[in-house]
């Protein structure tokens, strides 16, 4: 079939776009607070181990499936003559829709903070509860954010996704390097670095391992076909293994930088790093305010701008997954597919938007359906959607993709695809490692994670 599918213009374009998908709120918002809750450096070590042993191989498999088939997350399985496995793609699309529906709400918070910081409103940290409750305002920010995401995706691969990544990713990296260098000059910064980088292995327990793996998976955008989709726009002469290594390194590097920036800020003001989800939105504005009004405005505005940029390249990839499906499989013109899908996702995000104080039913949703855990402070509908999409669908999808690549599509075919653009692949150590990981390690570990999640979240049976 002659399709005029878009393609990335270069390897750099692909790497930046895929790294843009990976680098997001997960790295800058979630990673530091997971480190804070998970006992610091011990969590970081577990996270690194998972990224390289498990996530990197799964990533190469996803990209290879996409490039081999030149198709979206659902179509890819059909092209490989395994239409029954297309359910993995449908689950991926469902995960993408759900994740984007609430991710966009949080991205809206970050975008709104750029405006608050610009106006020098450092009090916003203490008013965070009221801020996220104000559904009209947050809804408007979310609408703008979704609009910009859709605008980028509507311009297609090269003129939209690739171009945006080429502007946003370098800006993001520059801002982060500058801010972390500045943070380290503050008094007391070293206490933060120590907490972050000197591991206390006695802090590793089942719970830490579990959240480190979940975080690694979410952060690398795995398990929902985002990289199948992006891989489908990659040219055959590119080295996938090398590209995946770069993407993993960039994602890990940026999460790492986020910690290097955040913990010195937090410790320099004598604050606790265990602020949970509020670490960035509640604690940081106070830190910025203590830097003095002028510097505070600059640092605060830059920080939330970089958070917004990071979120944007991720929302773009989340939207591209369902859009590619509609465009490929149902032959809907891209622009129409984009605006319809974005509107739909925005609408299914409304309950999440209302679940941070505006509607008491939605705010206490998890409690109302009887699944609240003791001592849990966040029982919102938004968190519940995260349980389903991030915590359940992604590991399940990742497990299925690994099993599919290794045992159904078969390792020989995977190796053949990975050898294109990489003559030395066959017979290399990397090949043995990737094959071992996706054949045994990833299916095993991911199925454990899946079972543990379902038991603990939906049946209140905590084995960890």
| Residues at the contact surface with ligand PHE, assessed by CB under 6 A | 21-22, 24-27, 99, 218-219, 221, 224, 226, 314, 317-318
Contact 101, 352 (CB under 8 A): yes
Question: Of 219 and 422, which has the nearer Cβ to ligand PHE?
Answer: 219
Between the CA atoms of 275, 276, 281 and 284, what dihedral angle is there, to the nearest 10 degrees?
30
Question: Of 99 and 337, which has the nearer Cβ to ligand PHE?
Answer: 99
H/E element holding 231? helix 226-231
Question: What distance in Å separates the CA atoms of residue 350 and residue 157, rounded to the nearest whole number?
Answer: 28
Contact 390, 218 (CB under 8 A): yes
Let me know how many helices (H) and strands (E) the chain has, helices first.
Answer: 28, 0
Question: Of 13 and 296, which has the nearer Cβ to ligand PHE?
Answer: 13
Between the CA atoms of 363, 320, 54 and 389, what dihedral angle is there, to the nearest 10 degrees?
20
Report in angstroms how near the CB of residue 289 gets to ligand PHE at its nearest. Answer: 27
Report in angstroms how near the CB of residue 253 gets to ligand PHE at its nearest. Answer: 13
DSSP 3-state of 154 = helix
Question: Of 52 and 436, which has the nearer Cβ to ligand PHE?
Answer: 52
Question: Of 250 and 326, which has the nearer Cβ to ligand PHE?
Answer: 250
Q: How far is CA 137 from the centre of its chain?
A: 25
Tokens of 37: 């809750």
Report in angstroms how near the CB of residue 243 gets to ligand PHE at its nearest. Answer: 16
Report in angstroms how near the CB of residue 280 gets to ligand PHE at its nearest. Answer: 13
Long-range contacts of the stretch 331-339 (C-beta < 8 A, 24+) = 334/154, 334/156, 335/154, 338/150, 338/153, 338/154, 339/150, 339/154
Question: Of 208 and 224, which has the nearer Cβ to ligand PHE?
Answer: 224
Question: Of 291 and 394, which has the nearer Cβ to ligand PHE?
Answer: 394
Which positions ≥6 away from 320 have C-beta within 8 Å?
Answer: 153, 161, 226, 229, 230
Report in angstroms how near the CB of residue 152 gets to ligand PHE at its nearest. Answer: 14
Question: Of 219 and 419, which has the nearer Cβ to ligand PHE?
Answer: 219
Question: What distance in Å separates the CA atoms of residue 77 and residue 4, rounded to the nearest whole number?
Answer: 20
Report in angstroms how near the CB of residue 394 gets to ligand PHE at its nearest. Answer: 7
Question: What distance in Å separates the CA atoms of residue 152 and residue 304, rounded to the nearest whole number?
Answer: 20
DSSP-derived letter for residue 67 is: H
């Amino acid at each position: 079939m002659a399709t005029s599918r878009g393609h990335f213009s270069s390897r750099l374009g692909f790497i930046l776009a895929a790294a843009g998908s990976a680098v997001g709120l997960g790295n800058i918002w979630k990673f530091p607070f997971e480190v804070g809750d998970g006992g610091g450096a011990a969590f970081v070590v577990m996270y690194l181990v998972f990224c390289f042993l498990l996530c990197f191989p799964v990533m190469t498999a996803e990209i290879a499936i996409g490039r081999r088939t030149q198709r979206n997350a659902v179509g890819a399985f059909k092209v490989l003559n395994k239409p029954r496995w297309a359910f993995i793609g449908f689950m991926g699309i469902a995960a993408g829709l759900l994740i984007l529906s609430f991710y966009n709400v949080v991205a809206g918070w970050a975008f709104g903070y750029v405006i608050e910081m610009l106006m020098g409103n450092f009090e916003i940290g203490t008013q965070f509860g009221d801020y996220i409750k104000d559904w009209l305002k947050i809804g408007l920010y979310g609408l703008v954010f979704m609009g910009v995401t859709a605008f980028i995706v509507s311009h297609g691969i090269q003129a939209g996704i690739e171009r945006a990544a080429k502007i946003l990713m370098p800006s993001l990296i520059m801002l982060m390097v500058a801010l972390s260098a500045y943070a380290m000059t503050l008094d007391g910064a070293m206490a933060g670095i120590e907490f972050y980088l000197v591991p206390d292995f006695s802090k590793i327990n089942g719970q830490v391992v579990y959240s480190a793996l979940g975080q690694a998976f979410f952060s690398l955008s795995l398990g929902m076909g985002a990289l199948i989709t992006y891989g489908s726009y990659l040219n055959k002469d590119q080295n996938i293994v090398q590209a995946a290594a770069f993407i993993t390194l960039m994602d890990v590097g940026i999460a790492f930088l986020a910690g290097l920036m955040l913990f010195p800020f937090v410790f320099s003001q004598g604050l606790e790093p265990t602020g949970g989800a509020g670490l960035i939105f509640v604690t940081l504005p106070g830190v910025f305010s203590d830097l003095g009004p002028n510097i505070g405005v600059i640092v605060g505005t830059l920080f939330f701008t970089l958070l917004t940029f990071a979120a944007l390249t991720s929302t773009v990839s989340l939207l591209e997954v369902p859009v590619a499906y509609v465009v490929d499989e149902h032959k809907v013109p891209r622009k129409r597919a984009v605006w319809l899908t974005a509107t739909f996702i925005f609408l299914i995000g409304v309950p999440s938007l209302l679940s941070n104080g505006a509607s008491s039913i939605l705010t206490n949703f998890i409690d109302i359906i009887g699944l609240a855990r003791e001592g849990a402070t966040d029982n919102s509908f938004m968190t519940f959607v995260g349980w389903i999409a991030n915590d359940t669908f992604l590991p399940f999808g990742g497990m299925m993709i690994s099993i599919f690549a290794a045992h159904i599509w078969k390792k020989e075919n995977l190796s053949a695809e990975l050898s294109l653009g990489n003559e030395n692949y066959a017979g290399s150590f990397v090949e043995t490692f990737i094959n071992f990981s996706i054949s045994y390690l990833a299916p095993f570990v991911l199925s454990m994670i899946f079972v543990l999640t379902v038991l603990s979240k939906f049946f209140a049976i905590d084995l960890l």
